[in-house]
Amino acid sequence: MKKIIYLFSFLIVLVSCREVGEHHASKAATDEASNINTEKAEFSIVIHGGAGTILKKNMTPEREAAYKAKLEEAIRVGYEILKNGGTSLDAVTKTINVMEDSPLFNAGKGAVFTNAETNELDASIMDGKTLNAGASAGTTNVKYPIDLARAIMDNSPHVMMAGKGAETFAIEQGMEIVDPSYFHTDRRLQSVKRAKEREKIELDHDDKSAFYDPTIKDYKFGTVGCAALDKDGNLAAGTSTGGMTNKRWGRVGDAPIIGSGTYANNATCAVSSTGWGEFFIRAQVAHDISAMMEYKGLSLKEASKAVIGKVGDLGGDGGIVAVDKNGNVAMEFNTAGMYRATMNDKGELTIGIYKE
Footprint of ligand ASP (CB under 6 A): 50, 106, 221-223, 241, 243-244, 253-255, 274-277, 280, 318
To the query of whether residue 168 is one of the catalytic residues in this protein, the response is no
* Active-site hit among 114, 223, 245, 274: 223
The closest of 76, 22, 68, 30 to 49, measured between CA atoms, is: 68
Question: What is the Cα 78 distance to its own chain's centre?
Answer: 14
SS (H, E, C) 62-96: HHHHHHHHHHHHHHHHHHHHHHCCCCHHHHHHHHH
**What φ, ψ does residue 185 adopt, rounded to 5°?**
-135, 145
Q: What is the DSSP string of 29-51?
A: HHHHHTT---SPPS-EEEEEEEE
Least distance to ligand ASP, CB of residue 112, Å? 8
- CA distances from residue 131 to 125, 134, 188, 256, 261 in whole angstroms, order as listed: 10, 10, 35, 15, 15
Closest distance of CB 61 from ligand ASP, Å: 24
* Shortest separation between residue 240's beta carbon and ligand ASP, angstroms: 10
Please state the closest distance from residue 254 (CB atom) to ligand ASP, in A.
5
The one-letter amino acid at 50: G
Task: Quote the least distance from Cβ 199 to ligand ASP, whole Å.
Answer: 17
* CA quadruple 303, 305, 307, 310: dihedral sign: negative
Spatial separation of the C-alpha atoms in residues 74 and 250, rounded to whole Å: 30
Closest approach, Cβ 41 to ligand ASP, in A, equals: 27
Which H or E run includes 262? strand 262-264
Q: C-alpha dihedral over 20, 26, 27, 29, to 10 degrees? A: 150
Q: If DSSP codes are grouped into helix, strand and coil, which group holds residue 196? A: helix
- Assign 290 to helix, strand or coil: helix
Shortest approach of ligand ASP to residue 160 CB, angstroms? 15
CA gap 107, 144 in Å, rounded: 9
Report the residue number, 102 or 266, with the smaller CB distance to ligand ASP: 102
Total number of residues shown for the chain: 356
Residue numbers annotated as active site = 223
